[in-house]
Amino acid sequence: MMKKLFALLFAGFVASAAYAQEAPDVLVQRVTDDVLEIIRKDRDIQNGDTHKVIELVDKKVLPHFNFSHMTALALGKDWRKASAQQQQQLTAEFKTLLVRTYANALTGYKNQKVVYKPLKMAPADLDVLIRTEVLQPGSKPVQLDYSLEKLESGWKVYDVVVAGISLVTNYRDQFGQEVRNGGIDGLIASVAAKNKSLEANSKK
């Protein structure tokens, strides 16, 4: 269930320079609705074509996420211990992990409805929380909130909170343990191994 809900965060961020300065709540609603409509109509995705979902995520999702910030939050205080090269390597592997995990979960989308809550935002705000609710037939609604920051290139997502659980800090204990066991390089190797396992499973 959690993976399917996290997958919704990847369902709606279409890269387009024309919308770079679009209000964050308008951006979230517009692109989420657009991409979910694509998923509803794509039989290959509905039939579990993970590679096609990964292509969709790579093309339409990644430009709207600040993976460097997300990785730093996930690593916590250990981020400062990493060299610039290690930070770059870990960010790349963490991005791949998120894409592969939730691209796979996205194939399980079954017409859940997303309700968008009103946003209270001052013109000068550079950091906002967009609140949404996922309605699932036969289940209680689940809160799905997006944290966005305004950069020169536009609004970027740096965290998602599902039913009170932060996507990035959810990894913090696991990453901290890996760093204690094998250092930053050990963590990078561990995430890379997980990515290879997910890739191998997708080919079966």
What sign has the CA pseudo-torsion 10, 8, 72, 191?
A: negative
Confidence at residue 130, expressed as pLDDT on a 0 to 100 scale: 95
Predicted confidence at residue 102, as pLDDT, reads: 65
SS3 23: coil
Domain range summary for the chain, segments of one domain joined by +: 2-202
**Which tokens is 92 given?**
């790349």
Q: What pLDDT, on the 0 to 100 scale, is given for residue 16? A: 44
Residue type, 180: R
Q: What is the chain's pLDDT, residue by residue, as a tens digit (204 residues)? A: 555 555 555 555 444 444 547 899 998 888 778 777 777 888 888 787 878 888 877 777 778 889 999 999 999 999 999 999 999 999 999 999 888 876 766 666 667 788 999 998 998 999 999 999 988 788 888 888 999 999 988 899 999 888 888 888 889 999 999 999 999 999 999 999 999 988 877 666
**Alpha carbons 151 and 153: distance in angstroms, whole number:** 5
* Angle, CA of 1, 61 and 28, to the nearest 5°: 75
Architecture of domain 2-202: Roll (3.10)
**Model confidence pTM above 0.85:** no
